[in-house]
Structure formats: C-alpha cells, structure tokens
Amino acid sequence: MGRHSPCTHPSHRWLDSVAVRVAGVGARSLETRARIRAATLADISELLRLNHKWNRTNLEAEARQGGYLSVTFTAAEMEFMVARGEVAVVEQEQGLKGYYLVNTNPASPRVAINERIMTALKQRGVLKVGARVAVGTQAVLEDELRGKGYYRELFLRFVEQLGLRYDLLFSTVSKCNPKIKAHEQLGWKIVGEDEQTYWVIWQIAQCK
C-alpha cells in the first residue's frame, strides 16, 4: 500500500476518484449535471440569494425549536469569505444550487456563542489549546439536489479548499435536527452538548 503525506486528508483521494466512479454507462456525472467548485466574487449575488432564501424558509421554525440561529450575510461579509477561499458552491446551468462556508462574521451572535463553547472545551482539555479552529459553518442545498450525494461532495470540496489553514471545524447542531446521524456519518464527532444543541467537530488533518 502506498504512503501519503500525514497532512493529506482522505477527502483529497476521494475527490480524485470521482471521475473514475461516474465513468460507467448510466452513472450520475457530476461534471455534466452539477459542478462543485470554489466560489468567486462573481457569485456574490447568487450566494446572497441562497442565503436569504434559506433564512426566510428556516429561521422561524429553527428559532421556535430553540436550535440553530440562522445568519443572514451582507454583500461585504460574503465577499470577505469568498476572497479568503472559504466558500464552496454547487451549480447547474440554471445557477447556484448550494454552498458550504465558514461563518467568519465576528459580529454574529452564533459565532460569539460558538467561541465561548470552544473556549470552555479547551479549558476542559477536550480540544487542544493551540488548535486552529474554524468556528461555525453554514450549508445550504436546494431541495432538488438533496439525497443525491451532492452534500457530501460539496462538504469535501469545501474542506479541500481550507487546506491546512485550520486543524478543526467546530459547529453546533440542534437536537431537533433529524440529520445528526448524517453529520456523524460524514465524520463530525460530538464532543459535548447543552439542553438545545450538540457540539460537534470535524478534524481536517493531523500534522505533527
């Protein structure tokens, strides 16, 4: 078995194998049916459309459940994240159909809450004090692409973009969210909880 760099996450190898897996007759071709790539500044208006649509659809229900607090971004905030290479998108001919990003808005109430939780986890020894942690992620995927593998593809492309900038992703998942098992299958690990949410991390790479 060949060796690989300890800083190379398995997601890189998985992405490289996509073309091979979909080459068969009748297989779903990601290249023709949807494209997953890094966001560019030309995508800002479409990203904001998706973000605002998702918030209008989900905020009331999520707030009522007492779970995840949605975040509506401004154009300037979205431009900042895109310029940092921290937004991945999935698109079809009709336009963008989803995105995955790190919420780097320091004014966001959700980010402030996550920062406090992460600090407590470091003090308890659950997380290493020196770990570089991306606090808070947001994912949006249109209904017609759900259940077809695009969420996983989008997430792994997003992680690949981050490279070695961070050691961990940290986020929270509402206990009312029925997809917590799907998060765990994707590699997210529950490291704590409160009355309303699970605290989850995803390890990007181990570089010693």
**pLDDT tens, residue by residue, 146-203:** 888 999 999 999 999 988 889 999 988 888 777 788 888 889 999 999 888 899 999 9
Does 101 have pLDDT greater than 90?
yes
Residue 22 has pLDDT above 80, yes or no: no
pLDDT of residue 155: 94
Question: Cβ contacts of residue 121 below 8 Å, gap of 6+?
Answer: 127, 191, 192, 199
User: Domain containing 146 — which CATH number?
Assistant: 3.40.630.30
- Give pLDDT, residue 47: 97
Residue 3 lies in a domain: no
In a domain? residue 21 = no
How far apart, in Å, are the Cα atoms of 192 and each of 77, 116, 198, 206?
A: 29, 13, 6, 21
Whether residue 175 lies inside any domain: the answer is yes
End-to-end CA distance of the chain: 22
Q: Does residue 207 surpass a pLDDT of 70? A: no
**Does residue 23 belong to any structural domain of this protein?**
no
86 vs 47: CA distance, rounded Å: 13
- Is 100 inside a domain boundary? yes
Confidence (pLDDT) at 9: 45
Residue ranges making up the domain that contains 188: 34-203
Chain-centroid distance, C-alpha 117: 19
* pLDDT tens digits, 23-73: 333 434 444 578 999 999 999 999 999 998 887 776 555 544 444 445 788
How many domains are there within the chain? Answer: 1
**Within 10 A of 137 (CB to CB), how many other CB atoms are there?**
20
Tokens standing for residue 95: 């336009």
The pLDDT of residue 173 is 83
CA distance 52 to 164: 30
- On whether residue 193 sits in a domain, the answer given is yes
**What pLDDT score does 8 carry?**
44
The answer to the question of residue 19 being in a domain is no
The answer, yes or no, to whether residue 21 has pLDDT greater than 70, is no
Average pLDDT (61-87) is 73
Confidence grade of residue 87 (pLDDT, cut at 50, 70, 90)? very high
